[in-house]
């Protein structure tokens, strides 16, 4: 009787120990895949051209390979250039919200120059640049820096910024009834903007498994469930053989 009870306890302990070990092993690759490989970081400054002593907000978004927002991802931003001019960034680290975004405040500093902001949410990373000018040396407005696949692109100057206005053609009296006037030139149709225009495209062949996990993690979960079921059936068989 005692031998049978000891055998049952040993079999149950073995099943529980193996199950816990397998669950712990599954948690490690799942954590290493978040954000999943192929994710990108998009950095959007509210202003791409600052005056000395000014501030602007940065919105940093983390997107998975299917361009979906990644929530609760730890993200770190720092200044790779500009600190020598008194620039600073706060906070240094935060977590993305439900929309995959986080906000940072950039202080321009007291001297003109270029500020480079680098952000990382491993394995995704990206950077952008913001120009700082003295109030008396402004030439033109700069477009907001946008980010590409690698999250890097600097500000561009508007066309004609800082250039003197060009003289237009002389305008004389209009002939009666529009005689002698050239017909207006036809404008070529612009490109059609469809649904989802401007959205990042997802890389081909990258599909998620259950609950948005990458395929390797989903496969491991399925194997783990099958292994636990086999262990449970084995334990039942052992208990039925012990008398």
DSSP states of 116-139 as a string?
Answer: EEEEEETTEEEEEEEEEE-GGG--
Strand partners, 43: 60
Q: Where are the alpha helices (DSSP H) in the chain?
A: 2-32, 215-241
What residues contact residue 95 under an 8 Å CB cut-off, 6+ apart? 72, 73, 74, 75, 102
Give residue for tokens 């990206």.
Answer: 126
- Binned at pLDDT 50, 70 and 90, residue 241 comes out as low
- Binned at pLDDT 50, 70 and 90, residue 198 comes out as very low
pLDDT of residue 158: 43
- Binned at pLDDT 50, 70 and 90, residue 213 comes out as very low
Angle at 210 between CA 209 and CA 215, to 5 degrees: 20
- Write out the two tokens for 182: 């050239």
User: Residue 164: in which H helix or E strand, if any?
Assistant: none
- The whole-model pTM stands at 0.45
Per-residue pLDDT of 2-44, as tens digits, reads: 555 666 666 666 666 666 666 655 554 444 456 777 888 888 8
Answer yes or no: is pLDDT of 140 > 70.
no
- Binned at pLDDT 50, 70 and 90, residue 84 comes out as confident
More confident residue, 168 or 204: 168
pLDDT of residue 161: 45
Range 111-138 average pLDDT: 84
- Binned at pLDDT 50, 70 and 90, residue 45 comes out as confident
pLDDT of residue 202: 40
pLDDT of residue 196: 40
Task: Match domain 40-154 to its CATH number in 3.40.630.30, 3.30.360.10, 2.60.40.10, 3.40.50.300.
Answer: 2.60.40.10
């Amino acid at each position: 009787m005692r031998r049978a009870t000891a055998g049952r306890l040993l079999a149950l302990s073995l099943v529980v120990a193996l199950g816990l070990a397998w669950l712990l092993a599954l948690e490690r690759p799942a954590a290493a895949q978040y954000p999943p490989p192929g994710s990108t970081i998009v950095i959007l400054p509210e202003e791409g051209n600052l005056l000395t002593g000014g501030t602007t907000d940065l919105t940093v978004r983390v997107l998975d390979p299917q361009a979906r927002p990644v929530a609760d991802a730890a993200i770190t931003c720092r200044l790779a250039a500009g600190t020598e001019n008194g620039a600073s960034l706060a906070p240094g680290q935060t977590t993305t919200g439900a929309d995959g975004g986080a906000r940072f405040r950039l202080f321009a500093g007291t001297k003109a120059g270029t500020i480079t902001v680098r952000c990382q949410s491993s394995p995704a990373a990206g950077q952008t640049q913001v120009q700082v000018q003295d109030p008396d040396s402004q030439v033109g407005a700069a477009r907001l820096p946008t980010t590409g696949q690698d999250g890097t692109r600097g500000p561009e100057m508007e066309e004609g910024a800082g250039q003197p206005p060009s003289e237009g053609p002389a305008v004389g009296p209009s002939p009666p009834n529009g005689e002698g006037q050239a017909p207006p030139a036809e404008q070529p149709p612009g490109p059609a903007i469809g649904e989802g225009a401007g959205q990042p495209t997802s890389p081909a062949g990258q599909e998620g498994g259950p609950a948005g996990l990458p395929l390797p993690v989903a496969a491991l979960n399925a194997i783990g469930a099958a292994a636990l079921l086999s262990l449970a059936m084995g334990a039942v068989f052992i208990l039925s053989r012990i008398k």
